[in-house]
Amino acid sequence: MDHEEKISLWDIFAVFSKIGAFTIGGGYMMVPAIQEEIIKRGWIAESEMPDIVAVSQSAPGLLTVNMAIFCGYRLRGFKGGLVATLGCILVPFIMILLIAMFFSSFSSNPVVVSIFKGVRPVAVGIVAAYAFKLFLKNAEWWHWAISLLTLCGIVFLRISAVYILLVIIVLSLAVSAYNERRAGK
């Protein structure tokens, strides 16, 4: 879709500022918010989201910043990417700066401690719900098997995720090479 003339830079900035301001936890917590905001506005198709997340994860840097760059660039080129990125990071930056300035004076406050304890499980639930929703739309049986083996390896066997990723990369390359040779016959 070409939104070059339809979407103002201000709209892009406002949407990504809202996302940055109202998603506690950053990173994967912002992914569902980004998806909801850009899809409901018709800026990017829902079917493109898994690719946007995958590309954003594979690029160096923060996931949500990469997503903001990618989405903004798709909407309005370089200026759109820059504005989306500023919107995504400016409000949280200011909030963190303010919290850092005053945190020591209220960090032991029982209300603040309770709020942080309450937000943790909600953050985990939001990330898990988004991952499950995304997974249901795109998964085949072997995706479930790999996910279950990965979960068991990390949680029960305490295997580093780095090793699991390395094994999956090697296996994926081997399967891809095998399929190419087989298709070439």
Q: How many CB atoms lie within 10 A of CB 71?
A: 28
Q: Where are the alpha helices (DSSP H) in 44-160?
A: 49-58, 63-106, 110-138, 141-155
Handedness of CA 11, 14, 19, 22 (dihedral sign): negative
CA distances from 113 to 43, 103, 110 (A): 39, 11, 5
33-91 pLDDT tens trace: 888 889 899 999 888 888 888 888 888 888 888 999 999 999 999 999 999 999 998 98
124-134 pLDDT tens trace: 787 788 778 77
What is the predicted pLDDT for the residue at 43? Answer: 93
Let me know: does 128 contact 122? Beta carbons within 8 Å: no
- Per-residue pLDDT at 117 exceeds 90: no
pTM, rounded to two decimals: 0.61
Averaged pLDDT for residues 138-162: 85
What is the predicted pLDDT for the residue at 97? Answer: 87
Distance, in Å, from the CA atom of 94 to the CA atom of 180, rounded to the nearest integer, reads 51
C-alpha 112: how far from chain center? 27
Averaged pLDDT for residues 132-158: 82
Q: Taking Cα atoms as reference points, which of 44, 85, 81 lies closest to residue 62? A: 85
152-178 pLDDT tens trace: 999 999 999 889 888 988 988 898 889
